A and B are shown apart, each in its own frame.
Chain A
Amino acid sequence: MKHVDLLIIGGGPSGLAAAKMAAESGVSSLIIERDTKVGGQLVKQTHMFFGSEKQYAKTRGINIAEILINDCKEHDDKISYMTETTVVGLYPDYVVTVMDRNHKYSKIKANTILVATGASEKVLAFENNDLPGIYGAGAVQTLMNVHGVLPGQDVVMVGSGNIGLIVSYQLMQAGVNVKRVIEAASVIGGYKVHASKLKRLGVEITTNMTVKSAQGNGALESIVVQKLDDDWQFIPGTEEEISVDALCISVGLSPLSNLLSMVGCEMKYVSALGGNVPVIDHSHETTVPNIFVAGDVCGVEEASSAIVEGYYVGLIIGNRLGKTHPHYERLIQDFTQQLDNLRSGPFGEKTRSGLAQLRGEQHA
Chain B
Amino acid sequence: MRIKEHPILDFKETKKLHFMYNGKQVYGFEGDTIASALHALGIKTLRHSIELKRPRGFYCAIGNCASCNMIVDGTPNVRTCITPLKEGMQVETQKDKGVYNETR
Q: Mark B43-86, 1 if CB is under 8 A from A, else 0.
A: 01110010000111111111111010000000100000111100
Contact B45 A219 (CB under 8 A): yes
Main secondary structure of the interface of B (DSSP, over half): loop
Contact A219 B55 (CB under 8 A): yes
Give the distance in Å from the alpha carbon of A133 to the alpha carbon of B61 in the complex.
Answer: 13
Q: Which residues in window 89-146 of A have CB below 8 A to B? A: 103, 120-121, 123, 130-136, 138-140, 142-146
Tally A residues with Cβ within 8 Å of B: 40
Among A131, A132, A143, A218, point to the contact of B61 (Cβ < 8 A).
A143
Q: Mark A146-165, 1 if CB is under 8 A from B, else 0.
A: 11111101000000000000
Of the four ranges (under 10, 10 to 19, 20 to 34, 35 or more), the interface on chain B belongs to 35 or more
- Closest-by-CB residue of A relative to B84 is A36
A5 at the interface (CB under 8 A from B): no
Taking the closest CB of chain A, its distance from the CB of B84, in whole angstroms, is: 5
Give the distance in Å from the alpha carbon of A123 to the alpha carbon of B2 in the complex.
Answer: 26
Contact A135 B58 (CB under 8 A): yes
Give the distance in Å from the alpha carbon of A218 to the alpha carbon of B59 in the complex.
Answer: 15
| A-B residue pair count with CB separations less than 8 angstroms | 103
A262 at the interface (CB under 8 A from B): no
Main secondary structure of the interface of A (DSSP, over half): loop
Taking the closest CB of chain B, its distance from the CB of A43, in whole angstroms, is: 11
Give the distance in Å from the alpha carbon of A150 to the alpha carbon of B36 in the complex.
Answer: 9
Question: Known: A120-B60, A133-B44, A149-B1. Is A46-B55 also a contact (CB below 8 A)?
Answer: no
Question: Known: A36-B84, A135-B59. Is A145-B9 also a contact (CB below 8 A)?
Answer: yes
A297 at the interface (CB under 8 A from B): no
Taking the closest CB of chain B, its distance from the CB of A123, in whole angstroms, is: 7
Among B5, B60, B83, point to the contact of A136 (Cβ < 8 A).
B60
Chain B residues, Cβ within 8 Å of A84: 82-84
Contact B3 A148 (CB under 8 A): yes
Contact B59 A139 (CB under 8 A): yes
Taking the closest CB of chain B, its distance from the CB of A227, in whole angstroms, is: 26
Contact B55 A131 (CB under 8 A): yes
Give the distance in Å from the alpha carbon of A103 to the alpha carbon of B104 in the complex.
Answer: 11
A173 at the interface (CB under 8 A from B): yes
Contact A103 B75 (CB under 8 A): yes
Contact A142 B45 (CB under 8 A): no
Taking the closest CB of chain A, its distance from the CB of B5, in whole angstroms, is: 8
Q: Mark B6-30, 1 if CB is under 8 A from A, else 0.
A: 1111010000000000000000000
Q: What residues make up the interface of B, taking CB atoms closer than 8 Å to A?
A: 1-3, 5-9, 11, 31-33, 36, 39-40, 44-46, 49, 54-65, 67, 75, 81-84
Q: List 25 A-B contacts (CB under 8 A).
A: A34-B82, A35-B82, A84-B83, A86-B63, A120-B60, A120-B62, A120-B64, A130-B49, A132-B46, A132-B55, A133-B44, A135-B57, A135-B58, A135-B61, A136-B59, A138-B62, A139-B61, A140-B61, A148-B2, A149-B1, A149-B3, A149-B39, A151-B39, A174-B6, A219-B55
Q: What residues make up the interface of A, taking CB atoms closer than 8 Å to B?
A: 34-36, 41, 46, 60, 62, 84, 86, 103, 120-121, 123, 130-136, 138-140, 142-151, 153, 173-175, 218-219, 256
